[in-house]
Structure 1
Amino acid sequence: MSATPAITADGLQKRYGAVQAVDGVSLEIRTGEFFGLLGPNGAGKTTTLEILEGLRKPDAGRARVLGEPPWPRNPRLLPRIGVQLQASAFFDRLTAREQLAAFAQLYGVGPRRVEEMLARVGLGEFGGTLAERLSGGQAQRLSIACALVHEPELVFLDEPTTGLDPQARRNLWDLLREINADGRTVVLTTHYLDEAEILCDRVAVMDHGRILRTGAPAALVRALDAPTRITVPAGALAPGVLAEARAELDGRVEITEDEVSLVFSTRDPAPVLALLTEHGALHGLEARGGTLEDVFLDLTGREYRE
């Protein structure tokens, strides 16, 4: 991975009426990096991407993409970037192959590359299928193929796995890893925190148009110092033993129990594990440390957003 930035942004701002969609966003994304932009609905992620892609003019601030200003719409950048929008729309009554060929022709790319890309994204046998008849996962793969057919250096992906079933998501992850392994810089927005934690070298968490925290997912999780959650089946400890444990561990361990699980939340798991071992209650034990989701909720809150 090169230390040279693929993207720099300094003080980007964008307002829509009374709504400050982007409020002083500054970030740097390295060449070859897999970078995630995370945030709740309305955080400003898509508007930030659209500014970087040259689709929207910022009200203030400065951006450079591959060393070039993205606005005014920069024809020197167009062959060097690929964009997969949040909502993809294909031409009516065209097959997957015809859709991809239409995009390829815009960049002067020949039919051989079209066939290579169909195979690359796992659509080789579906090239003759009308785009509207593709499954959700297949349509997303076609959308990404359209963004990649001209072999761009930098790829923007706006929530590419939204609405996909778990198998389709995992298959798409493999494709995204391959794209990045080719040396391309990938910028991803997603609401799936496990996805960002697995795929991204670094992430930025934003809300209300501002970047709140940036770093490698593992580093952000360590900095949060979230408690370890140790879970065993409900009833694993006799009521008397559990009552004694509550008294002995009070202040150090939070203990909750429902009809399914007995959960110990603590930053010092050793006494809990010793207790469970002593009483033969290790069957079905699960232990989970902090995750990127914990970081996200700590920074942005837990209230529901439309």
Structure 2
Amino acid sequence: MTAVLEISGLRKTYRSRRRGVRHAVDGFDMRVEAGQVHGFLGPNGSGKTTTLRTLLGLVAPNGGRMSILGQPVPQQLPAVIGRVGAIVESPQFFPHFTARDTLSLLAQAGGLAPHRVPAVLDLVGLADRAGERVRTYSLGMRQRLAVASALLKEPALLILDEPANGLDPAGIREMRTLMRDLVAAGTTVVLSSHILGEIQVICDSVTIISRGRRVTAGPVAEVLAAHSGGGLRVRLEAAADLPAAESALTTADGPPVTVTRHADHLLVHGVDQPARVTRILAAAGLYVSELTPVTADLESVFLQLTADAAPAADAAPTVAAGPTGAGR
């Protein structure tokens, strides 16, 4: 598949008298295929925002290679930035301007067609509030306005940092639908968010960064499968029967199984057919009330892979990327 975004061996180092040398990004790799929603995940201080800033030319890297839409950046960034929309952190808008005025000025500054303004306002659900001043907007509405500003250019690549911040559940669902509609229309989306359940639902693939390095990447289903502990959760009609059930399972004929007893259930590994558990326990006069396969979710995988992560050097001065991707 065609790569819309590629990063190889990216390094960014900050130096200060007080804290010395800090490696914000340390040999980081990332690849995003065309036509996907790609989740970019990492704990606070992992180097995630520094990576996005570097990719968009907001800070200079110390090493490595990057490309966007097949062009090396930052060398050829001016040639591709017109096809990239981005929100990095929280863009600021003039509070006394209306949303329509804000987007009109941005469109004019970027040499974009005026008809894009009502189009993107409608896309993000602000058409009915476009004439109101931004200072009256809630946090969620400002996030919608930020997304609208990034969509003005009809980008081939859209990079969104926490676009669901401040949105209620209905707004999050609308944002999910918008991302899918954009991909269907040919846009590739890189989405950074701390709402891991939403990332699992909406994203085709993910990259997880910790301490400035990639810890895993790939299709969401494959990442989950690779880090799933598997097993079966077994509950009985009476919790008092759990010790007897554990004994029955571990001493039964056939392939050995591993049983971990919890307060109200057993966790059983090594069973190829769940029906074997029910047969063994029924033969011992014990009856199952729940038999559930244990599967990993993205949150548990994320916490497992980043458990030892300490805040890194993602501490450069805050810079917000505007709709042109060139920052302010």
Report the aligned-residue RMSD.
2.6
Aligned partner of 2:321 in structure 1 is: none
Amino acid at match of 1:242: L
Report the alpha carbon displacement of residue 42 of structure 1 after superposing the two structures with TM. 0.9
Q: Give the structure 2 partner of residue 294 of structure 1.
A: 300
Q: 1:255 & 1:160 partners in 2: Cα distance? A: 41
Matched, 1:255 2:265: no
- Separation of aligned partners in 1, 2:75 and 2:95: 30
Runs of 4+ more than 4 Å apart: 269-278, 285-288, 302-306
Q: Distance in 2 between matches of 1:45 and 1:163?
A: 20
3-state SS of the aligned residue for 2:9? strand
- The aligned amino acid for 2:13 is R
The Cα shift of 1:156 comes to 0.6
Q: Separation in 1 of the partners of 2:96 and 2:82?
A: 27
The verdict on how the C-alpha distance between 1:11 and 1:305 changes in structure 2, with shifts beyond 3 A counting, is closer
> Could you say if the C-alpha distance between residues 143 and 273 of structure 1 is closer, same or farther in structure 2, counting changes exceeding 3 Å?
farther
Q: Do structure 1's residue 155 and structure 2's residue 158 form an aligned pair?
A: yes
Letter in 2 for 1:265: L
Deviation (angstroms), 1:304:
8.1
By how many angstroms is 1:253 displaced?
2.5
C-alpha distance after superposition, 1:44-71 (max 9, x if no partner): 1111111111211101111111122332
2:52 aligned to which of 22, 41, 49: 49
1:216 aligns with 2:216: no
Structure 2 stretches of 5 or more lacking a match?
16-20, 251-256, 313-328
Aligned to 1:206: 209
Question: What TM-score comes out, normalization by structure 1 length?
Answer: 0.86
Distance in 1, Cα, partners of 2:106 & 2:181: 21
Match of 2:287 in 1: 279
Structure 1 residues 112-121 or 127-136, which shifts more?
127-136
Aligned equivalents of 1:303, 1:28: Cα separation in 2: 22
| Letter matched to residue 245 of structure 1 | A
Shift of 1:107: 2.0
Paired residue for 2:92?
Answer: 89
1:173 deviates by: 1.2
Give yes or no for the alignment of 1:196 onto 2:199: yes
Give, in whole Å, the separation in 1 of the partners of 2:247 and 2:154: 63
- Per-residue deviation at 1:34? 1.7
Q: Distance in 2 between matches of 1:30 and 1:130?
A: 38
The answer to whether structure 1 residue 264 and structure 2 residue 272 are counterparts is no
Within 5 Å, give how 1:224-243 maps onto structure 2. Answer: 224-228=227-231, 230=233, 237-243=237-243
Structure 2 counterpart of 1:189, which letter? Answer: S
The 5-angstrom pairing of residues 18-33 of structure 1 reads: 18-33=21-36
Task: State the partner residue of 2:63.
Answer: 60
Q: How many pairs does the alignment contain?
A: 295
Matched, 1:99 2:90: no
Contact 2:37 / 2:204 at 8 angstroms: preserved in 1?
A: yes
Matching residue of 2:322: none
Q: Secondary structure of 2:29's match?
A: strand
Distance 1:153 1:241, change over 3 A: same
Which of 90, 115, 120 lines up with 1:117 in the alignment?
A: 120
Structure 1 stretch 123-132 or stretch 160-169: which is displaced more? 160-169
Q: Is the 8 A contact 1:9 1:26 kept in 2?
A: yes
Contact kept, 8 Å, 2:206 with 2:219, in 1: the verdict is yes
Instruction: Give the alignment's TM-score, normalised by structure 2.
Output: 0.81
5+ long unaligned stretches in structure 1: none
Q: Give yes or no for contact 2:158–2:190 (8 Å, CA) kept in 1.
A: yes
For residues 86 and 176 of structure 1, the distance between their equivalents in structure 2, rounded to whole angstroms, comes to 18
